[in-house]
Amino acid sequence: MSLNSHLTELKKKHQTLSEKVDAVQRSPAADPMDVTALKKEKLRLKEEIARLSA
């Protein structure tokens, strides 16, 4: 897998997680632990994207 395609996939995953976090936060029964876990994964992806882009 080329670097560009890997970065594209990571960006797609990051966007999907962003949408999922938004949806979970809008839910009245949102579990704060679930939101935190999703945000941590989103941050991990963002850091990996930044590292590979540098």
Give me 50's structure tokens: 């930044």
Give me 6's structure tokens: 């890997």
Per-residue model confidence as pLDDT tens digits over 1-36:
799 999 999 999 999 999 999 999 999 888 999 999
In this structure, is the dihedral angle defined by the CA atoms of residues 26, 29, 35 and 38, taken in order, positive or negative?
negative
The answer to whether 3 touches 49, Cβ cutoff 8 Å, is no
Domain ranges of the chain: 3-53
pLDDT reported for residue 53: 92
Closest C-alpha among 14, 15, 50, 21 to residue 36: 21
- Residue 52 pLDDT > 90, yes or no? yes
pLDDT reported for residue 30: 87
pTM above 0.75, yes or no: yes
